[in-house]
Amino acid sequence: MASAQQQTQGFHVYAPSPTTGKLLVVEAAPVAGGRDGGELDLRVVEEVALGCPVATIARHPTEPVLYLGPASGEVGKAKGAVVSLRGNGLSEKYSEFVFRHPYAYLSLDRTHRFLFGVDYGSGAVDVYGLDPAGALGTRVAALDEGIRTAHSILTTPDNRFAYVTYVKDSNAIHQYRFDAGSGQLTALEPIDAHPPAGTGPRHMAYHPSLPIVYFSNEQHLGVSAYDIDAQSGALKLRQVCDAFGKEESKEGTSASDIVITPDTRFLFVGIRGHTRPVDGIARFRVKGENGELEFLGRTPADKIPWGFALSPDGRYLLVTAYDGATLTAFRIGSGGELTKAGGLSWEKNISAIVTR
């Protein structure tokens, strides 16, 4: 692997704050002469006062636009924002947008024509139209399956299907055919992929070249891998890979976010020690021949690691600490090890981040 100093250029991290109603913009710059050429200087360079409690964020892949979902709000009155960025990564303008629900997760489809939002409290799913420049339009589709604790939605790489996860007692993965023309979601039969009891699928990451999707298991503390049927889109359980041994207690602990590296070699999941000092990042090797997982170990992290994002070059993992009030950059080693490369202190209760 080439060194991080040779490959990494400066980038930005964007974080919504539900406490102060701000968008925090962090500049991540390589440190000249840093250890192994892999150090990053993290600095908050802008605070955009949006005037509403925002908690979730999604980035348009090709346009300089960010979508910030509301942390709370009544049905039909949940205030979020759309932020346009300048070429230098700082904000250019922003506008308030009233969403149907507050959202635990936001994502775009693969053609960038639709924005999805899932409401943890009600379990509702909303779909909004986007114009070619990324401007947010009206709600074009919605789902309400009558169960709570919805936590994420993401379309498959071919954009033909989408899955919605439900944690805790709901413990479900709902499967849909996605119409990329209209934004409509049609339930597959069966609608539920029936994850193993007690797993609590939370967030997901797709293998870039194999028909496999990985879910972080909020309650089971690990990862579940599912094969995706090419014709029907139905999921079939392939593997459950734990981050804790059978003898280790899982009490007061839950998993959070998940990412897979662009080279498909490694996968990382957050482990939150709500009542125990076990906060960390679970590391997994992704086997190239079949996409199966091998648990490598856990790297300590600040209190309640919540939101993950990879640097644009895929060489750093950025992690928020919800209670620890920090942002930490970890350099990803050739064997999947994580080495702290930089960090900063900021507000508590920041969860989601994106990079650009």
Count of residues making up the chain: 356
Decide: 354 and 57 in contact? Cβ < 8 Å.
Answer: yes
Tens digits of residue pLDDT in 78-126: 999 999 999 999 999 999 999 999 999 999 999 999 999 999 999 999 9
Q: How many CB atoms lie within 10 A of CB 165?
A: 27
Closest by alpha carbon to 222, among 268, 171, 263? 268
Mean pLDDT value of segment 42-71: 97
Question: Which amino acid, 170?
Answer: S
Q: Percent of the chain, pLDDT > 90?
A: 93
What pLDDT is recorded for position 4? 41
Task: State the pairing for strand pair 125-130/136-143.
Answer: antiparallel
Mean pLDDT value of segment 325-331: 98
Tens digits of residue pLDDT in 218-240: 999 999 999 999 999 999 999 99
pLDDT range class, residue 7, cuts 50, 70, 90 = low
Decide: 67 and 111 in contact? Cβ < 8 Å.
Answer: no
What pLDDT is recorded for position 355? 98
pLDDT of residue 175 exceeding 90: yes
Whether the bond between 195 and the residue before it is cis, its omega within 30 degrees of 0, is: no
What pLDDT is recorded for position 2? 41
Q: Please, how many CA atoms are within 13 Å of residue 87, restricted to the half-sphere of its CB?
A: 0
The first and second tokens of residue 304, run together, are: 């309640």
The first and second tokens of residue 51, run together, are: 């005037």
Whole-Å CA distances, 34 to 172, 174, 260: 45, 46, 26
What pLDDT is recorded for position 37? 60
**C-alpha span between 97 and 69 (Å, rounded):** 9
What pLDDT is recorded for position 305? 98
What pLDDT is recorded for position 9? 86
What pLDDT is recorded for position 289? 86
3-state secondary structure at position 74: coil
Whether the bond between 190 and the residue before it is cis, its omega within 30 degrees of 0, is: yes
Tens digits of residue pLDDT in 247-295: 889 899 999 999 999 999 999 999 999 999 999 999 999 998 899 999 9
**Dihedral, CA of residue 104, residue 96, residue 323 and residue 202, to nearest 10:** 10
Alpha helices in the chain (DSSP H): 4-7
pLDDT of residue 34 exceeding 90: no
**C-alpha span between 180 and 160 (Å, rounded):** 7
Question: Which amino acid, 62?
Answer: T
Its pTM stands at 0.96
Mean pLDDT value of segment 40-52: 97
Mean pLDDT value of segment 164-177: 98
pLDDT range class, residue 36, cuts 50, 70, 90 = low
Tens digits of residue pLDDT in 150-161: 999 999 999 999
pLDDT range class, residue 141, cuts 50, 70, 90 = very high
3-state secondary structure at position 335: coil
pLDDT of residue 5 exceeding 60: no
Mean pLDDT value of segment 326-338: 98
**C-alpha span between 109 and 157 (Å, rounded):** 9
What's the whole-number average pLDDT of the chain? 95
pLDDT of residue 314 exceeding 60: yes
**C-alpha span between 353 and 356 (Å, rounded):** 10
Question: Which amino acid, 264?
Answer: T
* Residues β-bridged to residue 212: 227
Q: Spell out the long-range contacts of 75-83 with Cβ–Cβ below 8 A and sequence spacing 24 or more.
A: 75/100, 75/101, 75/122, 76/100, 78/102, 78/103, 79/52, 80/52, 80/54, 81/23, 81/50, 81/52, 81/54, 82/135, 82/136, 83/23, 83/48, 83/50
Tens digits of residue pLDDT in 201-215: 999 999 999 999 999
What pLDDT is recorded for position 35? 57
What pLDDT is recorded for position 1? 38
Closest by alpha carbon to 90, among 137, 19, 27, 29? 27
pLDDT range class, residue 246, cuts 50, 70, 90 = confident
Question: Which amino acid, 127?
Answer: V
**C-alpha span between 104 and 123 (Å, rounded):** 10
